[in-house]
Chain A
C-alpha cells in the first residue's frame, strides 16, 4: 500500500444540496503529484461525481484556480508533497458564486472586462503593410501586465472585491493598464472615465494581496497605484487647463 494523503474537498450540488459539505478522500502521495493529480485520481478512481475545471496542467490556461489550505492557488502548480502529512483542504475560489463543487462562476469578471476596453485603440490611421515600431524598452513598459492569465486568484485574494462587488478588480485594471502603457495604443483617455471612478482604481485600498496571489508575477497593485497618479494628474489638468490644452 503506497503512502496516502487525505484530501478534504468541498462538495456542492445546487440541484440537491442546501449548502456545501466537506468530503474526505485518501489519495496516493507521490512526489510528482500536484493537487490537481490528486483531484483527478479521485475523479477517475473514487468518485466520478466530483466536478472541477482543468486543462493545460502547465500553469498557462488559468482554469484550475482553487483555494488550497486557505490560499488561492493554481492546483496544477501546487504539490501534494508540500502539504504532507496532510490533510490538504481544497475549496472553490472565494469571492465568486459557486456553480458546483470546485467550479465557480467568473461571469462578473467577463462582464467587466470589455468595459475597460482591453484592446489596442488607434486614432491615427494604421498602414496595413507596416508594423508599428516598439523598442524592447517600450515593450518592457507594459509586458508584465500582459502576462495575466485571467486565473482569478487575485479576485479571490482581494478584500476590496469581497466587500465591494462593483469594484472592477485587479486583473481588469491591470489589463487596462497593459494597453494604456503600450506605446502603440492611443486609447488611454477612453479608459479614463471608467478607471478613475469609485468602482475603478479609487476603490483599491492598496492591500497588495492581489500581487502576492498572482502566479505569473503580474503586479496589479502596482498597476493600480501607478494609475492613481495618472488619474489624479489628468483630473487636476481638466480643472486647471482650458479644454484644448489638456
Chain B
C-alpha cells in the first residue's frame, strides 16, 4: 500500500480520560492557534476515570496546610516519591479542583453552599472533595462536556494507536487504526502526550475496566522512553468478589469498618491503632491501602477469612451508618451491592477482598510531564512523575491527573510552538512499515495452538502468582520465565477475524502484546528490588533498605528486546526518610 498523506496536528493527545481532556483543554485555552488531536480507543466518556468513586484531595480548610498534605503523601509513598513533584502537586491541586467547580462539576456541598470534604485513608485532615461516590464519573463528564466548546480540538473517537513515530530522536506522531473502518492512518504532531491510563488488566482480579491494558506504557517503552517504578502495584483492600468491582474507601471514611470471620475488627492486630466507634484519621480503617491489603493476607494465613468460590473474603460493615447516610454519601455503593451481590449494605455485610487497583509506576516523566524521549509527554496513571512512590494515597489520583494533565499540556504546547520541525519522510516511511506489520501479522487469519484468551489467562495467573501482594525471588523468576514462553506463543496465536470493520479481536491481540511487554518490566523490576517498601513486599527481603533502594527503578528495552534496569535517586526536599506511623 502506498504512503498516504498523514493527518497533521500540532499536538497529538493519546487517551481521552481525565488527564488527556485536561491537557487538551489547557492547550486550547493557552495556545488557541494550535491544533490538538485527542485520540482514544473508546468514546472519551467511557474512559476509566469514570470509575473513580471516592474523591479528590486538595487542601481547603483553614485548619489544613499544603505541608500536611505533602507529608501525608510522602509518608504514604514510603518515601519513594519525588518531594519537589509532591510540593507542586499539593500547591496546584486546590486550583484545579476549583477550576472543575467553575466548569460545573457537581461537587457535594455543605449546608452553607461550600464544597464539602471527607476523610480518606492515610490523610490526617479532611481534604477529599467528592461528588457523592461518583466523583470520577462527574469529573470526566464535566471535562468531556467542557472540551466540546473548543473547535481546535479534533477528536478521533475509537481510534487505537499502535506505535509512536520517532525520528531524529523525537516523537512526531502515531500510527493508529480507526476501529469502525479498519483504516490505518498516520497522525503527526510536533508533540505527543500519552494519557492512556494504567495496566490493571495484566492481573486477573482488578477494579480496572477492560480497556486498561497498559497501551501507553508499552508504546513509550518500545519507542525508547524508560518506564519507572514498575514493581509498585496497588491493591485496594475492598473489591467485590467475582467481579472485582471497587467498593470505595469513602465507605470507611464515612465510618464503615472491616471485620474478619469472627466479626472482629482485625486491623487492630496490625499496628494500625485501636478500634473506635467513630473513624479516626490515619488509623485503623483509614490506614493506607498497602498496609490494609497486607493485613488481609495475614488474616487469611491465620485462617480468619471466609472461603468462597471466588477466594477468601472478609466483610465491610456499613450497617451502623444507617440508610440515610448510605443513601446520601454512598449511593453508588448501595447500587453496586444490590445489583452485583444482591445484598443491601443497609442491612447486610458486604463481602470484600483485596483487588488490584492502580499502578504507581509508569512512563518516567519530569515535573512537566516530559518523558525520556524529546517531544513525548505523559500524564495521569500512565505516567510516573512520581508523587505516589511505593504507595498512592486514595483521592490523590484525580487531582494528579488534573495537575499533571494541565502541566503536560502546557509543556507540550510550548515544545510545539518552539519550532519543532514538521515530520519528514523518515516518519512516513516508519508509518508505512507499521501498516505492513499490522496487515501481515494481525489482519490475516491464521490457525495456531493457542487462542488469545489462553495466553491472556496464563499471563493473569502468572502475574497473580508472582507479583501479588507478597513476592519472593523464586516466584518472580519463575514468572519471568513463564512470560518469556507466553511472548513466544503469542506470536503464533489463532486469529479468526479478518474483517476490517470494528475488529475487536485485532484490538485484543494488540492489547495483549502491550500487556506482555508491561508485565515483563514489572517482574524484572520487582526481582531486582531486594527490599520491602510500600506496595512492594518481598518475603525474602522484609525490611526497607534505604541504603540500596531509596531510588526509582528505571527500565528500558535493550537491543535484544529485554528489560535493562537502572536506578535514579529520589528527590528529597524537606522530609528525610522516616518511619511510617499509623494509629499511634
Contacts and interface: CB of A to CB of B under 8 A. Distances in A.
- Please say whether chains A and B are actual partners in one complex: yes
Interface of A: 13-16, 32, 43-45, 47-63, 77, 99-101, 103, 105-106, 110, 113-114, 117-120, 122, 126, 128-136, 138-139, 142-143, 146-150, 175, 179, 182, 184-185
A129 to B, nearest CB: 7
Given A48-B496, A110-B43, A143-B106, A57 B501 contact: no
A56 B50 contact: yes
B501 A15 contact: yes
Contacts of B112: 133, 135
Interface string B467-498: 00000000000000000000000000011110
B210 A146 contact: no
A114 B501 CA distance: 27
B502 A57 contact: no
A48 B451 contact: yes
Contact of B111 (A113, A117, A136, A175): A136
A139 B106 contact: yes
B343 interface: no
A129 B60 CA distance: 11
B571 interface: no
Given A52-B504, A58-B51, A179-B104, A131 B98 contact: yes
Contacts of B336: 58-59
A135 B157 contact: no
B98 A15 contact: no
A57 B106 contact: no
B140 to A, nearest CB: 9
B452 A48 contact: yes
Interface string B109-127: 1111111000000000000
A44 B141 CA distance: 32
Given A51-B504, A133-B113, 20 more contacts: A43-B505, A49-B497, A49-B499, A51-B503, A56-B210, A58-B246, A59-B335, A59-B339, A60-B50, A61-B47, A105-B180, A106-B43, A110-B157, A126-B102, A133-B114, A135-B113, A139-B109, A142-B106, A143-B106, A175-B145
A122 B106 CA distance: 16
Contacts of B48: 55-56, 61
Interface in B136-164: 137-138, 141, 145-146, 148-149, 157
Contact of B210 (A54, A122, A132): A54
A101 B503 CA distance: 10
Contact of A135 (B102, B109, B180, B496): B109
Contacts of A15: 499-501
B137 A60 contact: yes
Contacts of B98: 128-131
22 contacts: A43-B504, A45-B453, A51-B503, A55-B46, A55-B210, A58-B243, A58-B246, A60-B50, A77-B340, A100-B499, A110-B43, A110-B157, A113-B148, A118-B148, A119-B148, A120-B103, A128-B95, A134-B109, A136-B110, A146-B106, A182-B106, A184-B102
Given A14-B501, A134-B113, A146-B138, A118 B42 contact: no
Interface in B334-379: 335-336, 339-340
Listed residue (B110, B134, B501) with the most chain A CB atoms within 10 angstroms of its CB: B501
B270 interface: no
A119 B145 contact: yes
B209 interface: yes
B193 interface: no
A122 B146 CA distance: 13
B327 interface: no
B148 to A, nearest CB: 4
B108 A139 contact: yes
B505 A48 contact: yes
A154 B482 CA distance: 47
B90 interface: no
B211 interface: yes
B91 interface: no
B242 interface: yes
Contacts of A185: 104
B523 to A, nearest CB: 24
A61 B451 contact: no
Contact of B104 (A49, A57, A182): A182
Contacts of A47: 496
Contacts of B134: 60, 147
B41 to A, nearest CB: 10
Interface string B229-248: 00000000000001101100
A49 B451 CA distance: 12
A103 B502 contact: yes
Contact of A55 (B42, B109, B496): B42
Report the 6 A-B pairs with minimum CB-CB distance, sorted nearest first: A133-B113, A44-B453, A120-B104, A100-B502, A55-B209, A48-B496
A149 B137 contact: yes
B45 interface: yes
Contacts of A100: 499, 501-502
B101 interface: yes
A147 B137 CA distance: 9
B115 A32 contact: no
Contact of B243 (A55, A57, A110): A57
B242 A32 contact: yes
A134 B111 CA distance: 9
Nearest to A130: B98
A78 B138 CA distance: 24
B500 A99 contact: no
Nearest to A105: B180
Interface in B33-53: 42-43, 45-48, 50-51
A105 to B, nearest CB: 7
Listed residue (B95, B141, B336) with the most chain A CB atoms within 10 angstroms of its CB: B141
A50 B504 CA distance: 8
Nearest to A183: B113
A119 B499 contact: no
B102 A132 contact: yes
B102 A120 contact: yes
B339 A77 contact: yes
Given A60-B137, A61-B51, A132-B102, A13 B501 contact: yes
Contacts of A179: 104
A136 B109 contact: yes
A99 B499 contact: no
A229 to B, nearest CB: 23
A62 B245 CA distance: 15
B101 A135 contact: no
B114 A131 contact: yes
A113 B453 CA distance: 37
Contacts of B43: 63, 106, 110, 150
A138 B110 CA distance: 11
A61 B47 CA distance: 7
Nearest to B104: A120
Nearest to A118: B145
A122 to B, nearest CB: 8
Nearest to A63: B46
A160 to B, nearest CB: 24
A128 B96 CA distance: 10
Nearest to B309: A32
B544 to A, nearest CB: 35
Interface in B316-334: 332
B153 to A, nearest CB: 11
